[in-house]
Amino acid sequence: MIGASHRSFRIILTAVASNVREAMENYRRAGKKRSRLAEKLGFVEEQRSTSQCYRNFSDYIAPQLSGRSCASPITAN
């Protein structure tokens, strides 16, 4: 009994993993198609130079905590 349920659980996991893998491949393909279409239509912006403090995602969330912010920390008087 335990062996049969273990086997069916493995089959379910394999099917789920296969579906996830297929979904990720479809997502990547769709992204490539969108970027090619954007290039054809001229929607691709030129690369803009940004300051170092806005290149890291953590700087958007908590710049003072990350230690990489260009802004001075707010102090209470």
pLDDT in tens, 17-66: 888 888 888 888 888 877 777 777 776 555 555 555 455 555 455 555 55
3-state DSSP helix/strand/coil % of the chain, to nearest 5: 70, 0, 30
- Indicate whether 18 belongs to any domain: yes
Q: Which domain holds residue 38?
A: 1-43
Q: Does a structural domain hold residue 8?
A: yes
Q: Please state the domain count of the chain.
A: 1
Residue 3 has pLDDT above 60, yes or no: yes
**Is 70 inside any structural domain?**
no
Half-sphere exposure of 41 (CA within 13 A, CB side): 7
Residue 66 lies in a domain: no
CA distance 65 to 77: 20
